[in-house]
Chains A and B, each alone.
Chain A
Amino acid sequence: MRQVFSFVFTLVAVCLIAGPAYSQGWGNLKGRFVYDGKAPAPQPITPTKDQEVCGKTKLVDESLLVGTNGGLQNVVVFISVGPGDKAPAVHPDLKKAASEPVVFDNAQCRFSPHIALVQTGQTVNLTNSDAVAHNTKVDAFNQPINPLLPPGAKLAQKFTAEERLPAKASCSIHPWMTGWLVIKSHPYMAVTDENGEFEIKNIPAGTWTFQFWHEKAGYLDSVTINSKATTWKRGRVDLDIKDKASLNLGDVKVAASAFEG
């Protein structure tokens, strides 16, 4: 019996410490990811079919894109909410954003954007701006879909369950096409831009577990911040977000070896 009491006590204590429920205020997180090494030029893709549409623009393999200044593009950042964790409160400004649809377009035989950020329950408009048909096969763990999208199509899709990892999107008709949908139950996620930069705004103050993922490297578990080698187990790090403050991770370097194989 005593054991049970001590367990309950621990549980309550843990709840009190871990729960950011009583926190007030909102803060931001930003940073810049840098490819540490000589970046390879993206491999060009030669379309094997529908050249009259797909051959119009230069297509490249987008699995690793590095900007001229070494910025690592397409790093996905999000708050990880484990089972039993309290979901982060949503800032009033962000509530409205969730009612706006996200567009995931098939344009010139590539997915645009390459990585889309989607909240559960939010509408994703799967569209096709091309003059040829595409299908968008999303291999989501909880809700796989594969609709055919004729030219000009617009399909409103919703995902009801959060996905632990970004879900891969592909087109069976044009096998080179790859994209990703990051599906989370909250709005606190971002993708780094061509400079490697990201910013997540209006995070409730408190300690949150952030996860960092890249489609080629998987979870970013070995990084260098301020020339200090750091291990983020499975790409996870706990960060303290303070009210009215912006936490800047600075330059986060990822070794070229993380992207091999």
Chain B
Amino acid sequence: MQCLVMLRFRTLAVLFTMALVAVGCDSPKAEFHLDRVFLHKTFGEPESREEADSLRNQVQNLKEVMVGLFGNPDEPHVPQLTDLDTTTVLDVGLIEMAAGRVASDEAGRGRGLYREHCAHCHGVSGDGAGPTAAFLNPYPRDFRMGKFKFKSTPLGVKPTHDDLRKTIIDGIPDTAMPSFRLLDDDEVDSLVHYVRYLAIRGEVERRLVMEVMTELDTGDLILDPEDRSNALVEENLELVKGAVATVVGQWANAASQVTEIPSPPDQWDSHDSVQRGRDLFFGSVANCVKCHGQLALGDGETGDFDDWIKEIDEKDPASKAPDFLALGVVEPRLLDPRPIRPRNLRTGVFRGGRRPVDLYLRIKNGIEGTPMPAAPASGLSEDDIWSIVAYVRSLPQEPISRPEVQVEYTRERL
């Protein structure tokens, strides 16, 4: 028992030393900022000066704990809490390759890969609010919720290492996300680890904000550096460890939960199968028509939002966004909280990839963070899903998807 307590104190001491070292230096280093939209939404407007002060202390403390756990963009840490193996998910060496300023080491290997290739859109904190983000449609992904759209795992399960590799290597068609095929293999791995590091950092932060809100009394700090004699410290340390362990655990378990894709039946893309897919598309079981529209132009349900915009407000983000802007939070989603558009299926461009297996996964599992639901467990067979894939793949080939170019718009040479 005594030994255990000693061990925990050591963990605590390490955590605090890390926090102090990181916070103590008063240099203009890059730092991660907290998600102020989530903070404000969770805690609301303070009603009195005392409440505002105590909230400010709690938030400052949270920030220090986060630095203690994850370091800062120039010197990232992987949270080292006892009885937790983080190495498969967060490789320190690979994370360091992507972190910090753009440079190269003695052997000529790149350093600061994230800031070289990603940060201008995705932001130093991975908030999807880099300098160019406001000009892009769709907005760059904000990693902090830990939600990723294009993956081989079901809703609620994290993407695998290979899923993130695929997105980086292939890019995302019809968005500003380019292909990074020219990077070396280990450089892509390094970026995958770093993106995961930013996502885990963001998710742990969200959990700790929730814990402060739901478990702590008003004004109580998560880890108070001046109060070590209290059982509360022990309890709160468990709380921090729990948050890290849950999030890291979810990422570590992703690979074992990959959706098994059955091979398509013979003749899955025959004329009959396409016809069957068409019936299913308009039928009440799959009901694709509801959102993707009668013409499959993505003109069905158009008033909904994705989870990143819904964070501002579920129903009417446009009217709530100015509240956050007034606090000085500048994020593209606040400047223009755009509704999400169901995919126009006639262009032949599919963001998660156009291979039949890509479309199968989107239909089978739905798309994380969006209104696109997972296929019903009963009432829609695997063969049915392949027929829908066949129909969706046939749509861009239909004559109305390729209207003839009107002659009067062509430019004539003089």
Q: Known A-B contacts: A150-B287, A234-B217. Give 14 more (CB < 8 A).
A: A4-B2, A7-B229, A8-B5, A10-B230, A11-B234, A131-B284, A135-B373, A142-B246, A146-B366, A146-B374, A147-B376, A148-B286, A173-B291, A233-B217
Chain B residue numbers with a CB within 8 Å of A140 are: 156
Chain B contact residues: over half helix, strand or loop, or mixed? loop
Query: What are the 7 tightest A-B residue pairs by CB atom distance, in nearest-first order?
Result: A172-B371, A135-B373, A148-B373, A150-B285, A133-B287, A164-B214, A84-B235
Per the 8 Å Cβ criterion, residues 262-297 of B in contact with A are: 284-287, 290-291
Name the residue of chain B whose CB is nearest to the CB of A236: B217
Q: Does B379 contact A (CB under 8 A)?
A: yes
Residues of chain A at the chain B interface (Cβ within 8 Å): 3-4, 6-8, 10-11, 14, 80, 82-84, 131-133, 135, 137, 139-155, 161, 164-165, 168, 170, 172-173, 175, 218, 233-234
Q: Contact check, A175 vs B304: say whether CB atoms are below 8 A apart.
A: yes
C-beta contact mask, B209-243 vs A, less than 8 Å → 1, else 0?
01101110110000000000111001110110010
Assembled-state Cα–Cα distance A178/B239 (Å):
31
Q: Contact check, A175 vs B229: say whether CB atoms are below 8 A apart.
A: no
Chain B residue numbers with a CB within 8 Å of A132 are: 284
- From the candidates A131, A145, A151, A172, name the one contacting B156 in the complex (CB within 8 A): A145
Residues of chain B at the chain A interface (Cβ within 8 Å): 1-2, 5-6, 9, 44, 155-156, 207, 210-211, 213-215, 217-218, 229-231, 234-236, 238-239, 242, 246, 284-287, 290-291, 301, 303-304, 307, 314-315, 366, 368, 371-380
Between-chain CB contacts (< 8 Å), 28 pairs: A3-B229, A4-B5, A4-B6, A10-B229, A14-B231, A83-B235, A83-B242, A84-B235, A84-B238, A135-B373, A139-B307, A141-B207, A143-B156, A144-B368, A146-B155, A147-B366, A148-B375, A149-B376, A150-B286, A150-B287, A153-B378, A153-B379, A164-B211, A172-B304, A173-B290, A173-B291, A233-B218, A234-B218
Assembled-state Cα–Cα distance A83/B234 (Å):
10
Assembled-state Cα–Cα distance A84/B236 (Å):
9
Chain B residue numbers with a CB within 8 Å of A143 are: 156
Assembled-state Cα–Cα distance A141/B210 (Å):
10
Total A-B Cβ pairs within 8 A: 118
Q: Contact check, A164 vs B210: say whether CB atoms are below 8 A apart.
A: yes
Asked, given contacts A83-B242, A234-B213, whether A148 binds B376 with beta carbons under 8 Å apart, the answer is yes
| Nearest Cβ on chain B to A216's Cβ, whole angstroms | 13
Chain A residue numbers with a CB within 8 Å of B291 are: 172-173
Q: Contact check, B238 vs A155: say whether CB atoms are below 8 A apart.
A: no
Assembled-state Cα–Cα distance A253/B213 (Å):
23
Assembled-state Cα–Cα distance A172/B284 (Å):
15
Assembled-state Cα–Cα distance A4/B307 (Å):
47
Q: Contact check, B215 vs A83: say whether CB atoms are below 8 A apart.
A: yes
Assembled-state Cα–Cα distance A186/B304 (Å):
35
| Nearest Cβ on chain A to B191's Cβ, whole angstroms | 25
| Nearest Cβ on chain A to B117's Cβ, whole angstroms | 29
| Nearest Cβ on chain B to A161's Cβ, whole angstroms | 8
Chain B residue numbers with a CB within 8 Å of A4 are: 2, 5-6, 9
- From the candidates A131, A146, A151, A218, name the one contacting B373 in the complex (CB within 8 A): A146
Asked, given contacts A141-B210, A150-B287, whether A82 binds B215 with beta carbons under 8 Å apart, the answer is yes
Chain B residue numbers with a CB within 8 Å of A137 are: 371, 373
Assembled-state Cα–Cα distance A8/B6 (Å):
10
Q: Contact check, B5 vs A84: say whether CB atoms are below 8 A apart.
A: no
Asked, given contacts A4-B6, A175-B303, whether A155 binds B379 with beta carbons under 8 Å apart, the answer is no
